[in-house]
Amino acid sequence: MPRKLIGPFIFLILAVFLFKEPLFNPQKNLAGIDFKLANMHWDSFEAAEMKLGRLPLWNPFINSGQPYLAHPVSAIFYPTNILYLFSPVHYATVLIIVIHLFMAAIGMERLAYYFVKDRYASFIAGVIFSLSGYMMAKIYAGHLSSILSAAYFPLVFLSSYIAVQTPDTRSISKAAVILALLILAGFPENTAYIILSLVLVFFLLFIKKFKEDKKRAVVLVKTFAFIVGLAFLIDAVQLLPSLEFVGQTTRAQGMSYEESVSFSLTPEHLKNLISPNVYRQHLGSTYPLWEYLNYFGAASIGLAIFGFLKSVSISYAGLIFLTIIYVVIASTVQFHQLFPLPSLELFQKLLFSIFISFALVYVFILKSGKKVSLLILSLAILGMIGFILSFGEFLPFKLYRLFWQYIPLFKLFRVPSHYLLLTLFSLSFLAAYGLAKVKFNILKLAISILITVDFLSFGGQYILTDNQRVYPTDPKLETAIQKFDNNYRFYHSYGAYTDWSNLMSLFDPNAAMSQRIESLKGSDTLLLKSYADLASIIDGRTIVPFSSRPIDVVIDNYNSPLLDLLSTRYFLMLPYEPDLSSLDPERFRTLLKTERFNLYENVKAMPKGTMIYKVITKANNDSIASYMRSFDFKYDNEVVVDEKTSKLLKSIPSTNKAILSEVNVLSRSSGKTMFEVETASPGVLLTSDLYYPGWKAKLNGKQSLPIIRVDYALSGIIVPAGKYRLDMYYLPESLIIGAIITLLAVSFLGIFIFKKR
């Protein structure tokens, strides 16, 4: 076997060894919580749609409907998702994780070997990066997209570095394609971190090159910009719909500071970086442990420090070590509040002054003539930045709050401990440099075996399996659900974070996707703002312009008649909650009562389509919301629109008089509803689907009809008098434009490669 294949072969053996139980026992699946709560349902829905010959553009089953393809986590165009078509979803998930851990190891091994030219050193870099606490944490928790995207870090870095150093057709094309795959993997947070890491390292390289050769420095910048631009164009078919969707979610407003600093690293977590035995202990703020599971290992850290010291001058090394020591001490003081305010602020200033003094000594007095490796220094700075940012709210002088206030990136993402991905990448690379400096191969082999065994022993305890694909639905409830009329929606009183026992044994909100019933709720970090606002109107809450990070839509006013607008026919209530049939017997009837839940039917739920002939005009959204909360709003007999929309409704008689009409649902699929409409007058076909760009309507499959926003967040179709078939379907222009751009970009890439040969 060629020597260059020995490392990959061992990595493959290690991956298979770690995952031997789920790989060779297909009936078992990984036990990560989010695999059950999210991935199994999402990917099952996607696979079912693809097998029916449909591209899953819209997900009607959670949160009263929302885009599916546009959701970054869907990763529809990511290559390994094809495995869901040929294998059970739970087993395909195992295969995908094994593939990406193998890819992470190979990528890091190739990156390290490119620079150190040492097989032992490059091998151990791959082991550290792929089997570290970061990766094991994501498997333990079930964070699939985090694993997929993190695995690309070394490959993206290596391919981009080669391309900017020796720009040619092959290297530029390879770098653009690898970066495009990273983006498609579907975890924007890691994508942003990786691209910004490249920007930092290449900026430092640019400064050096600019001093030596200005033209080459400019070429470096242009090449990197071209790679990033081409990757984004290749992914336009995914990115344009995603940007459109994310821009209309509650997340687009940014998270509150309190939410953005959740799971900040604390001083008590530092020992977790070097000790493999403390993760099972839920110490203070260490819950949930998977957000802090960042085991690097003492040997790995020692090698990284050794490699760093061998490659840079004492002044640079001292400055970086001083910075890290200062941040640790200052964060410890901040975390434990060792000094009462305002003494704390005074002590922090004193501590900072001491740090600056020592830093000046190192920079100006302890200069060294040693030649500095700019790459090593850049990666050390990158690792230091990741380590510092991971402390989040415990950074001195409220630094993280300043970042959150003035840098948009910090409002979009949460969990500061995730920045340790940058530290892991840096440490893996520096450890390779350290091992390469060891003179004796037998010692290198011993160190490699020691670290590999250590990580295998550590990681094995977090590859947990069971026979439970998803959290089960109560059998009696599941039987009742099978009898539901699928043209109506389902409501359950508790939320994703309200009652975990019900979520895990009664009904998981995302199970609606697997059971294919349309639900008012779900569990997702991206929620349409318009729907969240409509929920506030239903509950009588004030609509706020700033949102935190809701994971489900809160609707507590289960007796609100406005729920009828959403075709809410079935209500799941817990035994201690009010008996709806007694509360409003004209509206609710009991379907089933058990010790664990009560199920009711709302006989006044509006169907998917209702003809409306009266239009109420209000000045703006606030006025619409106020009117809908009032007793004046006759939701089953009128629609309320803003002044701009009302100009499109001049043909509508706007009358209370009874007008002969009939609407039937002929068929309904994930992104299309076929109505049969008969109306004696022009009017508005009020649907219970949310208004969102991309919904279209055609009369008898030919004439396009306008879809307008009515009742704050719902879709209304302006229809003429007559009897006809009306198709309402979802096909966003962002997808069409994105597909065209992707096609052109791929064509350009092909021509670019072909012509340069």
Q: What is the mean pLDDT, run by run of 10 residues, along the chain of 757 residues?
A: 80 93 93 88 94 95 96 94 94 96 97 95 96 91 93 98 93 96 95 96 87 87 96 97 94 84 86 74 49 86 90 78 83 68 57 59 52 84 94 89 90 90 97 93 94 92 88 93 94 72 81 94 90 92 64 85 95 92 94 95 96 94 94 93 90 78 93 95 95 96 95 96 96 98 94 72
**Hey, is 474 helix, strand or coil?**
coil
The pLDDT, as a whole number, for residue 286 is 38
Token readout for 523 is 């569990």
Residue of 72, 16, 296, 276 lying closest to 186 (CA atoms): 72
Q: Whole-model pTM?
A: 0.92
Q: How many CB atoms lie within 10 A of CB 644?
A: 11
Amino acid at position 219, single letter: V
Asked if residue 598 lies in contact with residue 583, where contact means CB atoms within 8 angstroms, the answer is: no
Token readout for 542 is 């004030």
Token readout for 359 is 């830093």
Where are the domains positioned within the chain? 3-7+21-312+372-466, 475-602, 609-736
What is the residue whose two structure tokens read 């890439």? 749
Amino acid at position 159, single letter: S
The pLDDT, as a whole number, for residue 516 is 94
Asked if residue 725 lies in contact with residue 542, where contact means CB atoms within 8 angstroms, the answer is: no
Sign of the Cα torsion 459, 464, 465, 468 reads negative
Asked if residue 269 lies in contact with residue 296, where contact means CB atoms within 8 angstroms, the answer is: no
Token readout for 648 is 């499109």
Cis peptide bond prior to 693, omega within 30° of 0: no
Rounded Cα distance, 667 and 193, in Å? 45
Rounded Cα distance, 600 and 713, in Å? 26
Rounded Cα distance, 711 and 64, in Å? 15
Amino acid at position 361, single letter: V
Farthest-apart Cα atoms in the chain, separation: 95
Residue of 553, 541, 520 lying closest to 250 (CA atoms): 553
The pLDDT, as a whole number, for residue 543 is 77
Rounded Cα distance, 472 and 596, in Å? 14
**End-to-end distance of the chain based on CA atoms, in angstroms?**
31
**Could you tell me which residues come within 8 angstroms of residue 741 by beta carbon, excluding any fewer than 6 positions away?**
233, 236, 237, 240
**Hey, is 679 helix, strand or coil?**
strand
**Could you tell me which residues come within 8 angstroms of residue 757 by beta carbon, excluding any fewer than 6 positions away?**
169
Residues 175, 178, 179, 181, Cα dihedral to 10°: 160
Token readout for 601 is 């039917």
Amino acid at position 47, single letter: A
Token readout for 750 is 């092909």
* DSSP secondary structure code for residue 250 in this structure: G
Rounded Cα distance, 608 and 590, in Å? 22
The pLDDT, as a whole number, for residue 282 is 41
Rounded Cα distance, 730 and 1, in Å? 53
Cis peptide bond prior to 288, omega within 30° of 0: yes
- DSSP letter string, 257-321: HHHHTTT---GGGGGGGT-TTSTTS--GGG-SGGGS-----HHHHHHHHHHHHTTS-HHHHHHHH
The pLDDT, as a whole number, for residue 549 is 58
Partners of 610 in the β-ladder: 686
Q: String of b and e for 455-481 (b: at least 16 CB within 10 Å)? A: beebbbebbebeeebbbbbbeebeebb
Rounded Cα distance, 197 and 597, in Å? 51
The pLDDT, as a whole number, for residue 743 is 97
Any long-range contacts for 458-463 (C-beta under 8 Å, 24+ apart)?
Answer: 458/131, 458/133, 458/136, 458/276, 458/295, 458/297, 459/18, 459/131, 459/135, 459/136, 460/18, 462/136, 462/137, 462/139, 462/140, 462/293, 463/18, 463/19, 463/21, 463/22, 463/30, 463/136, 463/139
Phi, psi of 29 (to 5 degrees): -140, 160
The pLDDT, as a whole number, for residue 46 is 95
